[in-house]
Amino acid sequence: MIDARAVLAKKRVGGKLERAEIEGFVRAYARGELADYFASAFLMAVFVRGMDARETADLTRAMLESGERWCFALGRPTADKHSTGGVGDKVSIPLAPAVAACGVAVPMVSGRGLGHTGGTLDKLESIAGFRTGLSRAEFERGLVDCGVAFGAQTEELVPADRKLYALRDVTGLIESVPLIASSIMSKKLAEGIDALVLDVKYGSGAFLPERERGAELARAMLSIAGSFGLRAVAFPTCMGRPLGDTAGHALEIGESLECLRGRGPADLRELVLVFGASMLALSGAAASEAEGRARIARALDDGSALAVFERVVAAQGGDARALERWPDPRWQAARVPLLAPRAGWFRWTDVRALGWAIVDLGGGRRALGDAINPFPGLVFHARDGQRVERGERLLEVQATGARVPDAVLDRLRGSFALEDGPFEPEPLVGTPLRA
Ligand code: URA
């Protein structure tokens, strides 16, 4: 039996934990042999004192071993992408079908919205009937039949992370590099994938806004990938502005469909091309990233990615016919514009506020188990660095109800600045880091 108090005492003063100590602690907690208060104290000690690369890899292994590891006989390579989250980040929805259309299976174990960010599963559930609570067997069937399955972490997949994550959420212990890295990587390793692309966001809409903290997280995840022999690459991407032209669950499904039809916003398409190219090249399905990029572009433009998505929607119980009428033009009537109070060069300054505005409108959760209204959202008209005139429409708020609450409009007014001179917007994608 692990001496939990000795483990806590060691980490409390910044000591390095042995592999056996980490494994013993995590195993005992996952089996219910240690109370939550021991785990909370452990998480706080790691949060404050940190962990080195070896300890972080040991923590990842201990969590990974708490549950099952998938190994599906698919006869083709498998790859996944993980984003650290942001506002308007719907990349997974067009990316996974595009990659599958190019012959690489994508077991997309996704998350729900967290804080100011929307989750892929919540977005997909705005399609009537779409079911994300898949069992392992349903994941496998989806991968065999469609090449993609979108679902939540199952009960058996890294149960230690499930318990620790819930504790971190309620105790405010999310923003720690070793805890985030081990949590994400244990789930990705459990998927049994051949290759992983990490989208590490920085900027005011990211969980770790400082670029250097994002890079630290990227290095920690790549170091774990290296310890487990998983081919991985991390792209720093700008979340100092929202991604695409909309944010909000149903609106983002519309934008994903546009991307799958070979259209849609340029920044969304660019991330799908960059990540898709990497997933094909890393998993060995393409000889180079250039070849991978060309194949992903073709899958978006010739309808094959869209056909995969339609099959996935039908396979997971969704109303595939509804996609033809999406986005509904009648939504236009429910939009309230926000106008420029003066002329200037538009700059996003607080992207998090956009996410919270959607939560305020009912399009996100304040507490675990809250129902989400998929309809509310934002439509962006002004872009970073663009010259706007007084009275010009900067964005629109799509809301249910007769009027948009003043508090929401005030929040949105605080999310941008109008500068006196022109400036170059931050590049969308930075130099990739490799394992
Ligand atoms: N997503 C995860 O899966 N884990 C974290 O710790 C943070 C984001």
Q: Say if 83 falls within a structural domain.
A: yes
Q: Say if 37 falls within a structural domain.
A: yes
Task: Find the catalytic residue in 183, 186, 256, 283.
Answer: 183
The span from the CA of 168 to the CA of 183, in Å, is 11
Catalytic residue flag (residue 188) = no
The span from the CA of 393 to the CA of 18, in Å, is 58
Domain end (from 278, 303, 325):
325
Q: List all residues whose CB is within 6 A of at least one atom of ligand 1.
A: 111, 165, 174, 179-180, 183-184
**CATH number (domain holding residue 385):** 3.90.1170.30
Which pLDDT value is given to residue 65?
97
- Indicate whether 217 and 312 sit together in one domain: yes
Domain end (from 325, 347, 376):
325
Rounded to 10 degrees, what is the CA torsion of 250, 251, 254, 260? -100
What would the DSSP string read from start to end of 195-235? EEEEEEEESTTSSS-SHHHHHHHHHHHHHHHHHTT-EEEEE
- Indicate whether 182 and 99 sit together in one domain: yes
Tell me, in angstroms, the distance from the centre of ligand 1 to residue 394's CA: 32
The span from the CA of 212 to the CA of 206, in Å, is 12
The span from the CA of 262 to the CA of 252, in Å, is 15
With H, G, I as helix, E, B as strand and everything else as coil, classify residue 38.
helix
Handedness of CA 393, 397, 402, 404 (dihedral sign): negative
For residues 202-226, one letter each, b for 16 or more C-beta atoms within 10 angstroms of the residue's C-beta and e for the rest, the string is bbbbbbbbebebbbebbbbbbbbbe
Average pLDDT over residues 90-108: 98
Catalytic residue flag (residue 381) = no
What are 174-224's pLDDT values in tens digits? 889 999 999 999 999 999 999 999 999 999 999 899 999 999 999 999 999
- Indicate whether 17 and 152 sit together in one domain: no
Pocket test for ligand 1, best of 83, 89, 121, 165 (most atoms within 8 A of CB): 165
* Shortest-distance Cα residue to atom 7 of ligand 1: 180
* Shortest-distance Cα residue to atom 2 of ligand 1: 184
**CATH number (domain holding residue 198):** 3.40.1030.10
Q: Which of 314, 296, 292 is closest to 101 using CA atoms?
A: 296
Which pLDDT value is given to residue 24?
98
- Indicate whether 363 and 236 sit together in one domain: no
Which pLDDT value is given to residue 317?
98
Residue of higher predicted confidence among 382 and 116:
382
Asked if residues 102 and 285 have their Cβ atoms less than 8 Å apart, the reply is yes
**CATH number (domain holding residue 35):** 1.20.970.10
Would you say residue 368 has pLDDT above 80?
no
Peptide bond just before 327 cis, omega within 30 deg = yes
What are 109-153's pLDDT values in tens digits? 998 888 899 899 999 999 999 999 999 999 999 999 999 999 999
Task: Find the catalytic residue in 80, 161, 194, 245.
Answer: 161
Express as a percent the part of the chain with pLDDT over 70: 100
- Indicate whether 232 and 345 sit together in one domain: no
- Indicate whether 154 and 84 sit together in one domain: yes
Q: Say if 70 falls within a structural domain.
A: no
Half-sphere exposure of 227 (CA within 13 A, CB side): 19
- Indicate whether 42 and 148 sit together in one domain: no
DSSP letter at 280? H
Handedness of CA 33, 39, 41, 45 (dihedral sign): positive
Asked if residues 63 and 161 have their Cβ atoms less than 8 Å apart, the reply is yes
Structural domain containing residue 248: 79-325
Catalytic residue flag (residue 168) = yes
What are 232-255's pLDDT values in tens digits? 999 999 999 999 999 999 999 999
User: Could you give the residue ranges of the DSSP H alpha helices within 13-111?
Assistant: 19-30, 36-49, 53-64, 92-101
Express as a percent the part of the chain with pLDDT over 90: 90
Tell me, in angstroms, the distance from the centre of ligand 1 to residue 179's CA: 8
Would you say residue 58 has pLDDT above 90?
yes
- Indicate whether 173 and 306 sit together in one domain: yes
What are 325-367's pLDDT values in tens digits? 898 888 888 899 999 999 999 999 999 999 999 999 999 888 7
Catalytic residue flag (residue 89) = no
Q: Say if 173 falls within a structural domain.
A: yes
DSSP letter at 324? G
205 Cβ contact partners less than 8 Å away, ≥ 6 residues apart: 86, 87, 116, 117, 239, 240, 241, 242, 351, 352, 354, 355
The span from the CA of 342 to the CA of 215, in Å, is 37
Position in ligand 1 atom list of the atom nearest CA 168? 6
Which pLDDT value is given to residue 371?
86
Task: Find the catalytic residue in 81, 82, 123, 163.
Answer: 82
Band of residue 108 on the pLDDT scale cut at 50, 70, 90: very high
- Indicate whether 278 and 359 sit together in one domain: no
Would you say residue 411 has pLDDT above 80?
yes
Number of domains in the chain: 3
Band of residue 56 on the pLDDT scale cut at 50, 70, 90: very high
Q: What's the pTM?
A: 0.95
Catalytic residue flag (residue 116) = no
